[in-house]
Structure 1
């Protein structure tokens, strides 16, 4: 059962990490998608985009490492609820021709009720994970057991992700500043 929990954590973590990464690579496009939803003022879109991307990546890392279980799951759950509500509002408005902006391994599609159903499935998966212990593949357990090989592998992966995050975030912040300046011109 612990292996199944790790597998399910990896699925949700992969979805969030790849979505966040694809959005960072295409921050202008992602900001435009947020604008097309017509739910928030244009002046804060660059900041909201950065915030959502950061949350996706942090939740993905938290699920992979098995740390801050309840905070990570609650945040991922909230994020999916917000996305589902935004999609639903636009579907009710009859605006199904715009991109969902999902990205990552799930791809990007036009808005549809299928996306809402998919998000409900992911929400149920997060609820299931809430009640399962994160024993297998949990960095905290690895540190307690003191297996240096596992610790080294996890640290290499963590340092690689953090390096990627720092490099991409610096590019993203520069892009956000440029985009914000264009909005206020």
Structure 2
């Protein structure tokens, strides 16, 4: 169970951190996407995109190293829930011609029920993490004096998490290529 919860923690940390990095790189696109949701007043769009980017980077980093995990997981649940509600509102409105704005390894796709379900799976995974012992391979454990928290499985789990993300990213990019090729018909 330790390795599985560590795997989920690393997986979600990469999702959050890579999204934050993408939002920094494509700042204007992210601002446009948040504006497209038509939820916030114009005055709050730039501060909100800045806040989201910072929170994604911090939560992703803290999850990766296992720092303040219980608080980090609660904030990540809140973040994914806010994203899901925002997408749900626009799907119900029929405003589906919006990129999700996810960025990172998740890429940008048009909002849909699929994105809502994916986000709810992240919320479920984070809820699971909040209910189990997540001290395995964490800075929190080292601070509490448990030096045996890192073992050879830690590196295997990190490798598996990175491999999963690579496969998912490759699959997503192949779908984009397929769709581009279909446009030529």
Q: TM-score, normalised by structure 1?
A: 0.76
Name the structure 2 match of 1:21. Answer: 21
RMSD, matched Cα: 1.7
CA distance, structure 2, for counterparts of residue 128 and residue 146 of structure 1: 25
Name the structure 2 match of 1:93. Answer: 93
Q: Is there any run of 5+ residues in structure 1 with no aligned partner, and where?
A: 151-185
Q: Indicate if the aligned counterparts of 2:68 and 2:140 stay in contact, CA closer than 8 A.
A: no
Name the structure 2 match of 1:32. Answer: 32
CA distance, structure 1, for counterparts of residue 142 and residue 44 of structure 2: 41
Poorly superposed stretches of 4+, deviation over 3 Å: none
Q: How many residues align?
A: 149
Q: Deviations over 1:34-69 (max 9, x none)?
A: 000000011121100000111111111111111112
Shift of 1:71: 1.1
Q: Deviations over 1:141-172 (max 9, x none)?
A: 2353569xx9xxxxxxxxxxxxxxxxxxxxxx
Q: Which moved more, 1:61-70 or 1:134-143?
A: 134-143
DSSP-derived class of the 1:136 partner: coil
CA distance, structure 2, for counterparts of residue 46 and residue 130 of structure 1: 31
CA distance, structure 2, for counterparts of residue 39 and residue 145 of structure 1: 46
Q: Deviations over 1:85-134 (max 9, x none)?
A: 11011011111111100011111100100000001111100010001112
CA distance, structure 2, for counterparts of residue 8 and residue 112 of structure 1: 24
Q: Indicate if the aligned counterparts of 2:65 and 2:138 stay in contact, CA closer than 8 A.
A: yes
Q: Indicate if the aligned counterparts of 2:12 and 2:60 stay in contact, CA closer than 8 A.
A: yes
Shift of 1:140: 2.9
Change (3 A) 1:122 1:146: closer
Matches within 5 A, 1:29-178: 29-143=29-143, 144-145=145-146
Change (3 A) 1:2 1:33: same
Q: TM-score, normalised by structure 2?
A: 0.76
Q: Indicate if the aligned counterparts of 2:13 and 2:63 stay in contact, CA closer than 8 A.
A: yes
